[in-house]
Structure 1
Amino acid sequence: MKNLKNKLIALIVIVGFLQSCSDYLDQTNPNEVSTDTYYSNLEQSDASLTGVYGGMLDTFIVNPWMESLRSDLGIISARRTNNPNPNARVIPYYTHTYNPGSFNFHRQWNALYQVIFRANQLIEGLESMDDTLKSNEIWTEQMGQARLLRGMCHFYLHAIYNKGEIIIRDKVPASTEEISKPTSTSAEVIEFFRDDLLYAYNNLPHAFDQKTRVDKGLAATILGTSHLYEKEYNLAIGYFDDIINNKSEYGYALLTGENVKLMYTSAGDFNSESIFEINYSVELKGNESQWYEESFSNRNARYSAPNSKGGGAPEHTVVAAWLTEAYSTEFLDPLDVRNTVIGHNGRDRITDNISLRASSMVSLVNDEHTEYYQKPTAAIADNFRNNKISLFKQHTNHDITDHEKNVGVSPWQSGKNVIINRFADVYLMRAECYLETGRITEALGDINTIRERWGLALLGPVVNASKTYIANEPVSNLPYTDENTLRRHLRHVERPLELNIQGISSRNIDLRRWGNAKARFAELSGIKYYVTDYTYVDEAGKTKKRAKSLLTRTVTANELYINGENEFEAAAQNYNDTRDYLPIPLSESDNNTSI
């Protein structure tokens, strides 16, 4: 359960902060000039810090529907109904025909800069304090958090927009001229945000008792990630080693055993694997509009839940066919006792080939081993009509309710936390660094650490006789000790299946930095899928059927799309290197005379 007491305290201070700067927040004019901020004590500055965190509540910070559609992970759900005219406002993201003025294109950019603006207010206020306050440990912790949030937002803007040439906002504008700033070079931006991150890394504690606060662990994670993105692998390994080798100091541990079932559930909020997650709750100010971006709820469930459970809207996104197939064909370890537990249908996971990882990440019609929306199985809970062969679980309340409308005031309001950074990703990023520096054995070790906790067969030569190993990749029959074979597995199996749609544009950044986004879309657009009926066991133990709900590559009478199209055809055609980064939104270029 979430700590309601902490949230109420946060609510009190955030309301005080938001009221103090409501004149700014109510303005849509980008030329609004703010006054300087001064604090007489650390309680006032702490209230301002809570306001910085409040900016992170904006649903568009993560923007999962848009970012998943731009990647190879998500599909517009209307396509699965073979609707010839899905809503025009979301099509451009899936087809990669968006432009700087497309629907809601500016929202993520503005949301990240809003957090930066507030961080700058706090930083300037802290810098204005006298030396006595500056010598206080709390002052240093507040400054470290402010600079970490400012640096992190610059990091994401750099990784997503304009080839990294974004605007460095390092202070509160004192004039309209200071609002109109030109972009900086990618190298200048990297230097700036790393300076912020290094300050946080050197001055913040390994972890705060209040889990909602950013800490040294997040600073180390973002620093390591930034070096990985720049192919500075050995520098990245240094930070990842620090996190993994000192996990007890940071408080991190992978979920293992039966605890893996806590992944992306309400009971698993702020678990030992969480490095940074955005904290939401419908218990606080639930009467606020779902369109108010600083409410304590988000709209993510509406965009990914089953239609029968409150999902909908043009932005509704479902799991791509290839990802559905990948989850359905993972190699399970028959020696792991968790895989031999009998499910609702009287079979075990080995027989049904339903991995624990698949059960945590997506809903599958043939997953009769996991409760879904308070029903014994997904097939009982949902009708899987209109070729909705699987749906994302990460942002839904499938574990605590029978319908999204029963969580908040409406299905548009969800209190589900959003995880940005997770300990498992640190292992996988270190595995990539090992791989790219020729350390195949170490890379396999980190990958297998993740696979083992899910009860999956391990890869490569046998190391532990109590585990099952797969030596060769099944399609190519090349060994996993082959560098290219392992690289492909890491990129297109391990990372997407482990992380799913987690993070801020993580999959798009990966495809871009690997330089194979277009090739990936072309590959996937050449695969044709079919659907067949699935026979399941209902609550009364009777055998029933979900028509055309089970994905297959075996030719049947029912193609996944009756119009003969394959997924990602338009993306393969339209993607080019100008799509590697998003352009600067019109909202910025129209109002910034220096752009």
Structure 2
Amino acid sequence: MKRYIKYILSMAALTGVIASGCKKDFFNRPPESQTTVGSYYQTADQVKASTNALYAAPWFGFNTKVGWSISELASGNGRTGSSDVVAFGNFSVSNGNFELSAAWNSLFTVVAQANALIANLPANVPASVPASVVNNAMGEARLMRGLAYFYLTRIFGNVPIVENPLLEVSNFQNVNTNPVTDVYKFIINDLKFAETNCTPNVAATGHVSSGSASALLSKVYLYTQDYANARLEAEKVINSGEFQLFGIDIAGNTYEDLFKIANNNNKESIIALQWLANAGYGFGNAVQASFAYSSAITQTGDGYGVLAPSFDLQDAYAANPGDLRRKATIMLPGDFYSYLDQAQGGYTLPANASSQGTHAQIKKYVVGSPADNNGASAFQSTAMNTYIMRLSDVYLIAAEAILGQSANPGVGHGIDTAASTNDATALKYFNKIRQRAGVQQKTSITYRDIIKERRLEFAIEGDYWYDLCRMDGFNSATHPVAISIISKQDRGDSSTDTPPVRYHDATYTPTNLDFLFPVPATEVAADPNLIKAPVPYVFK
């Protein structure tokens, strides 16, 4: 497969090595003229640093725009009129969409970078480096590869599994896709390796641990409806004590504090992308530029208000009176934030703020000016980590797995939305999240309760669309439950009155085909096999 020529630069400050990609898809290999894995990683510290690049630059194309376009616009959490991404909100994404290509390229770049480490480290690290250090780096690389594939298969369905690019490089125009079930098996194998080989209890370093692998494994098992293993892995993480909830296990911090740069790599963070604000384009978190209502917040000339919360998301928070997560996630006119625009005594969202017609703006991942963050933000770039998993996710996974075990619909079937449980352990996990949110505890929970709770907990964190996609079964060709939910969402805009008059002029009923996105046309042109029937993967 042919891709745009890519040069994947791992910052010297992070890794001390430069790796360049070649011209063929998936097969990024460092050239002989550059410092390579084999000649550089000669000490334990250098091997430990070998995985740093996997947490930032390769993810940039996904994180910056298309990641949230898929998760927030397709799910109905957000609204936009921006021509480059509006198609994700009205289910009109074509295979020629530029941002869709960015998703494919970015995620397969993560795979390529991980494969380079997996293929080169063991053979090139001297015996003086402890095996445990090498194994940990290998585990990190396999976790990140598994994570990239978790996104790829949920977005595109059948995708090529590339484990050893050297076996494919001579035949790059005839790479087949592999079935979703094989992709999930591959992901699970990677995560099991990471769980066994990664160092435990490394929270606050920014790197993943064996506990991180267990957490992601619990989520993957949940998606495949292997509820027994989902619960086993989730409770392993909960009981380990490696991670803690802000505002519950850790006093003095709140849910809102999770989204401040000063609290990067906190005890609740399980997997997070690591960004640097002042290291050049491609190495910082660029989402504040799109999310922030105006430059009055960022003080760097950006703040475009491209994404705004839909009325449907606003209604979801309003249905949960007193929910402390609302103000941390979305701004309503009159909301005051003391830690934004501190030089002027704080920031209040203006009464007429309505960049996308919904009279509300995004707050989550909006962190403010350089002065608000000790210099850790810049034009289209902040140092705010991107959460991939937090401990609250694991609690909700455990609660859902317990319910799933009792309902037992069977692997591959949809969620039984009529099922409920009053299991004490499930309620303890579920209500711990609601306790922090400041909302009423429940004495019985259904699947719908859990999905709604996940939406409120992880809105604007890239999760709700994938929850909707799995409601009818993780590999189902039909989506009646999700279609019913989406078709009732208010995705419209409103008048400029105060309070606004809603127009209810944008509701969408997706088809079953809309729950997977097309393989980019540029990739199909280079490799027509990508849209042919998948071929079973031969596991090594």
| TM-score of the pair, normalised by structure 1 | 0.73
Partner of 1:500: 459
Partner of 2:447: 487
8 Å CA contact retained: 2:293, 2:303? no
Distance 1:134 1:193 in 2: 28
Distance 2:492 2:92 in 1: 23
Partner of 2:483: 518
1:139–1:459 CA distance, 2 compared to 1 (3 A): same
8 Å CA contact retained: 1:266, 1:399? no
Counterpart AA for 1:491: I
Identity among equivalent pairs (%): 22
State yes or no: 1:454 paired with 2:440: no
Counterpart AA for 1:298: N
- 1:366 offset after TM fit, Å? 4.6
- 1:356 offset after TM fit, Å? 2.4
Q: Which moved more, 1:355-364 or 1:313-322?
A: 313-322
Partner of 2:159: 166
Distance 2:293 2:516 in 1: 31
Q: Show structure 1 runs of 5+ residues with no match.
A: 1-9, 79-86, 333-354, 461-480, 532-546, 551-557
State yes or no: 1:425 paired with 2:393: yes
Counterpart AA for 1:95: N
State yes or no: 1:216 paired with 2:199: no
- 1:219 offset after TM fit, Å? 0.6
Match of 1:360 among 328, 340, 365: 328
- 1:67 offset after TM fit, Å? 2.9
Q: CA RMSD in A?
A: 3.2
Counterpart AA for 2:60: D
Distance 1:315 1:530 in 2: 16
Partner of 1:75: 79
- 1:177 offset after TM fit, Å? 0.8
1:159–1:414 CA distance, 2 compared to 1 (3 A): same
1:208–1:246 CA distance, 2 compared to 1 (3 A): closer
Partner of 2:511: 576
Distance 1:236 1:457 in 2: 26
Partner of 1:139: 134
Max Rg structure: 1
Match of 2:501 among 559, 571, 580: 559
SS in 2 for 1:137: helix
Distance 2:26 2:112 in 1: 13
1:119–1:321 CA distance, 2 compared to 1 (3 A): same
Deviations 1:324-374 (A, max 9, x none): 133234234xxxxxxxxxxxxxxxxxxxxxx42222222122545865443
1:209–1:321 CA distance, 2 compared to 1 (3 A): closer
Alignment of 1:88-237 (within 5 A): 88-129=83-124, 132=127, 136-162=131-157, 165-173=158-166, 175-178=169-172, 180-208=174-202, 211-237=205-231
State yes or no: 1:392 paired with 2:362: yes
Alignment of 1:252-401 (within 5 A): 252-256=244-248, 257-260=251-254, 261-282=256-277, 284-285=278-279, 288=280, 290=281, 293=282, 295=283, 297-307=284-294, 309=296, 316-332=306-322, 355-367=323-335, 372-374=340-342, 379=348, 383-385=352-354, 387-398=357-368
1:400–1:266 CA distance, 2 compared to 1 (3 A): farther
1:133–1:150 CA distance, 2 compared to 1 (3 A): farther
- 1:98 offset after TM fit, Å? 0.7
SS in 1 for 2:529: coil
Match of 1:51 among 50, 53, 57: 53
Counterpart AA for 2:391: F
Distance 2:55 2:494 in 1: 45
8 Å CA contact retained: 2:47, 2:133? no
8 Å CA contact retained: 1:31, 1:179? no
Partner of 1:17: 17
Distance 1:489 1:458 in 2: 12
Distance 1:100 1:528 in 2: 26
* Displaced runs of 4 or more, over 6 A: 311-315, 527-531
- 1:96 offset after TM fit, Å? 0.3
Aligned residues: 479
| TM-score of the pair, normalised by structure 2 | 0.80
SS in 2 for 1:191: helix
Partner of 1:443: 426
- 1:499 offset after TM fit, Å? 0.8
